[in-house]
Amino acid sequence: MNAGLLGTGHYVPKNVVTNKDMEKIVDTSDEWIRTRTGIEERRIADDDIDTSDMAYYAAKNALEEANMEAQELDMILVATVTPDTPFPSVACMLQDRLGARTVAAMDVSAACSGFMYGLITAKQFIETNAYRNILVVGVEKLSKITDWEDRNTCVLFGDGAGAAIVGPVSEGKGILSFELGADGSGGKELYQDQETDYLFMNGREVFKFAVRQMPESSVNVVEKAGYAKEDVDYLIPHQANIRIMEAARERLGIAEEKMATSVKRYGNTSSASIPIALSEDVKSGKIKDNDLLVLVGFGGGLTWGAIALRWGR
């Protein structure tokens, strides 16, 4: 039994914060942000919208696209580092709000790689016939752990949620190969400070790690799946920085229009960035049946994950 994606969904807050808006908050400029990151604007959730709310909206969208009821779910996995509370988990809150059965529900903490960790975890349960339909959500409210006086980080991040229903698909479709990894020695470069609760990032070191790991993992999963770089139809990288994304695209040798680039509109939404980009490009028709996709991300931990996926049921 092959595990694939039966439906996708996403949600982004209505509140748009442009680079010009950021100029009024910290000493920065629209040109500086755009040329170094590719970001033009980001979405920030209102105070009365928390992580579980965004997860719910994205999940409902994914269930609708999959033509599935919440009662058909066998497991719920939520990738996030910004839960409403340490416990109960966002997954348990989501289970209750969706009206799902009392199935297994847990949060996954792998920062920006979280959605990849979630998808690959779901794959194991499905391909061993333990479960049939699993909801995987990547969601973050990074605005609540962002230091809005730190111009090096506050311009980068945004809020949002993306979701996918993972289930059995026909032979030759679905997740063909994957790679997961972590290097705990790099944790000091990207973490949440215990005293301030704010996110800290050593941008230079994280950049160096990402421009090496993202292209390498992308090529690895294509080769593991038995394909060549030329066979890749579409790349969905973690939407952190356009220069890092371009490094992966160039390593695969695919055209610019074959790479998701939602970073300019949403900034870095951590674990939500890949599923948001995936959902948008499925709905817009950029991703078509039988396309060979590469999904690849990196994040705090330091962690990384990549998937080669044949789209379709």
For the annotated catalytic residues, the residue numbers are: 112, 238, 268
DSSP calls for 28-61: --HHHHHHHH---EEE---TT--HHHHHHHHHHH
The SS3 assignment for 204 reads helix
How far are the Cα atoms of 81, 102, 104, 133, 279 from residue 130, in angstroms, in the given order?
A: 27, 16, 12, 10, 26
| Cβ-contact 89, 78 below 8 angstroms | yes
CA proximity to 100, closest of 91, 87, 109, 113: 91
Q: What angle do CA 162, 43, 97 make, to 5 degrees?
A: 45
Closest by CA to 163, choosing from 270, 9, 56, is 9
Cα–Cα distance, 106 to 52 (Å, whole number) = 13
